[in-house]
């Protein structure tokens, strides 16, 4: 079959122009969706008797057969076609002759491709949500396994206050739970059927767009044909959601990289997600976590790239939009594999408890407990903060912990110190004191885990 356009041209495209403009190697990923779109459109043509019942059945059967053929041998089914739409139409016409040429009646590649991509985005959202839940479950299971284990909390990468390790993990759980919301929103934005908009103005055949939307599983239809073929906001929504997911994954990966360094030595990542060095046999490199950081840049760049493609386009369709799928597909593929690896890597992590316990005691992480103790004795917080700073300075000078200072020494700094101050100078007491919703106290973290278990049925 000749290409879908060309009647008014005296010669074909230059080979270099073909290389630049043909997109089959990219949009062949849409073949399943393109076949579904052609079937739904053919059914709408049949409803208007533009296709007879017999003609529809033949086209429908051909498209079903092609779906099996493409799945069995995708490369063998692809030819020197401009895109997947012309490839499918070529096969239908080869099988059905002039009847195949009727299939494109009342639609354009403009509304066809955006419908294909919306279907792809909906499936991608479902897949990403599933992988997000796998990561969240892995974090939940780790939090349950290590419930009660103290861990140093940081601000500015400086020792701050002790927390429960489970509390730290559940911070990431909260991030990914918000990502679920963004993905659901992206699904909703994609769940609008543009088919029937044709090139830009609608079609001349009065096709039932609600019938088409129902056939394809869309919940609603677009309301403006020009916007319908030009809109890529739904792609931006998904790609932005992906960029936030990757940002969260990258933050988690950075901590795993830091914690697994022999210098810190808080954790060890399992062999299945680390690699060695070609020259230094002692090395165990956290490559999957590092790749997570690196791949985040690609996903962040993809959403920015699509914004740059769209920003200067007049209505309606412009060929620039062919470049959108390269960015979309890479964004989705990268997020899915990174989520999968993270969900599988987390359960392989083991904690070096003694190292963690030793490090909690460094950096005077109990200093705030001293200030809060004084506040409970009636000292204004700002004054208590200043007094505690002097206590810390004396401990630093003597190179001892706060709990090692004598009561007499403390009373020499401020007479309001009493013997019960030492009840506050333990890691367990510091953690237990944060007993409010969202706090790191064991009772609060346990309650949060119970709520997660109830919500997600894990």
Backbone angles phi, psi at 103, to 5 degrees: -60, -30
- The yes-or-no verdict on residue 8 having pLDDT over 70 is no
pLDDT band at 17 (very low <50, low <70, confident <90, very high): confident
Share of the chain above pLDDT 70, in %: 97
CB atoms within 10 A of CB 339: 26
In the set 16, 156, 278, 406, the catalytic residue is 156
Please give the pLDDT value at position 185: 98
The pTM score is: 0.94
Backbone angles phi, psi at 425, to 5 degrees: -95, 50
State the distance between the two ends of the chain, measured CA to CA, in whole angstroms: 55
Can you give the residue ranges of every domain in the chain?
Answer: 15-105, 115-196+223-356, 358-456
Q: Are 347 and 138 in contact (CB under 8 A)?
A: yes
Scored b (16 or more CB within 10 A) or e, 365-401 reads bbbbbbbbbbeeeebeeeebbebbeebbebbeeeeee
Catalytic residue check, 197: no
Output helix, strand, coil percentages for the chain, rounded to the nearest 5.
65, 5, 30
Quote the DSSP letter at residue 285.
B
Exposure of 17 in the CB half-sphere (CA atoms within 13 A)? 4
- The yes-or-no verdict on residue 2 having pLDDT over 60 is no
How far is 413 from 421, CA to CA, in rounded Å? Answer: 13
Please give the pLDDT value at position 242: 98
Average model confidence (pLDDT) across the chain: 96
Backbone angles phi, psi at 267, to 5 degrees: -135, 165
CATH of domain 358-456: 1.10.40.30
Please give the pLDDT value at position 354: 97
In the set 277, 308, 353, 443, the catalytic residue is 277
Please give the pLDDT value at position 21: 82
Catalytic residue check, 277: yes
Q: Are 126 and 112 in contact (CB under 8 A)?
A: no
pLDDT band at 224 (very low <50, low <70, confident <90, very high): very high
- Which CATH number does the domain 15-105 belong to among 1.10.275.10, 3.40.50.720, 1.10.3720.10, 3.40.50.2300? 1.10.275.10
Domain 115-196+223-356 matching CATH 1.20.200.10: the answer reads: yes
Mean pLDDT of 166-180: 98
Q: For 245-264, what is each residue's pLDDT tens digit?
A: 999 999 999 999 999 999 99
Could you give the angle at the alpha carbon of 343 between the alpha carbons of 340 and 348, nearest 5°? 125
Please give the pLDDT value at position 12: 74
Please give the pLDDT value at position 7: 58
* Dihedral angle sign, alpha carbons of residues 201, 207, 210, 216: negative
- The yes-or-no verdict on residue 5 having pLDDT over 80 is no
How far is 242 from 235, CA to CA, in rounded Å? Answer: 10
Please give the pLDDT value at position 203: 96
Q: For 403-432, what is each residue's pLDDT tens digit?
A: 999 999 999 999 999 999 999 999 999 999
Mean pLDDT of 45-64: 98
Q: Which tokens in the block code for residue 211?
A: 């019938």
Quote the DSSP letter at residue 322.
G
């Amino acid at each position: 079959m000749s290409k879908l356009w060309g009647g008014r041209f005296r010669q074909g495209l230059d080979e270099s122009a073909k290389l630049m403009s043909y997109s089959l190697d990219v949009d062949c990923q849409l073949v399943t969706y393109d076949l579904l779109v052609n079937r739904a459109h053919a059914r709408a043509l049949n409803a208007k008797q533009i296709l007879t019942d017999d003609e529809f059945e033949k086209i429908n059967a051909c498209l079903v057969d092609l779906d099996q053929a493409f799945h069995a041998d995708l490369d063998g089914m692809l030819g020197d076609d401009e895109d997947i739409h012309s490839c499918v139409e070529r096969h239908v016409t080869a099988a059905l002759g002039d009847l195949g040429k009727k299939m494109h009646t009342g639609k354009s590649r403009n509304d066809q491709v955006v419908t294909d991509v919306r279907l792809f985005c909906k499936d991608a959202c479902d897949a990403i949500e599933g992988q997000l839940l796998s990561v969240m479950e892995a974090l939940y299971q780790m939090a349950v396994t290590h419930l009660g284990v103290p861990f140093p909390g940081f601000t500015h990468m400086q020792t701050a206050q002790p927390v429960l390790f489970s509390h730290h993990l559940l911070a990431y759980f909260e991030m990914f739970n918000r990502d679920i919301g963004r993905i659901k929103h992206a699904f909703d934005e994609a769940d609008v059927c543009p088919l029937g908009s044709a090139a830009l103005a609608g079609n001349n055949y009065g096709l039932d767009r609600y019938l088409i939307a129902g056939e394809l599983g869309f919940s609603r239809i677009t309301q403006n044909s020009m916007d319908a073929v030009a809109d890529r906001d739904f792609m931006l929504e998904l790609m932005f959601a992906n960029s936030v997911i990757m940002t969260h994954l990258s933050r988690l990966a950075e901590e795993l990289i830091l914690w697994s360094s022999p210098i810190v030595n808080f954790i060890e990542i399992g062999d299945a997600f680390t690699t060695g060095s070609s020259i230094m046999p002692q090395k165990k490199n956290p490559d999957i976590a590092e790749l997570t950081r690196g791949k985040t840049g690609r996903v962040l760049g993809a959403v920015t790239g699509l914004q740059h493609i769209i920003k200067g386009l007049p209505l309606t369709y412009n060929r620039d939009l062919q470049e959108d799928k390269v960015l979309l597909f890479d964004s989705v593929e990268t997020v899915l594999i990174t989520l999968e690896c993270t969900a599988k890597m987390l359960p392989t992590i083991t904690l070096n408890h003694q190292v963690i316990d030793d490090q909690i005691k460094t950096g005077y992480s109990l200093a705030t407990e001293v200030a809060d103790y004084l506040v409970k004795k009636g000292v204004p917080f700002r004054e208590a903060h200043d007094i505690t700073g002097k206590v810390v300075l004396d401990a630093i000078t003597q190179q001892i912990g706060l709990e090692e200072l004598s009561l007499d020494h403390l009373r020499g700094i401020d007479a309001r110190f009493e013997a019960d101050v030492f009840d506050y100078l333990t890691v367990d007491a510091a953690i237990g004191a944060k007993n409010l919703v969202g706090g790191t106290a064991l009772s609060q973290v346990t309650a949060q885990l119970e709520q997660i278990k109830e919500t997600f049925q894990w």
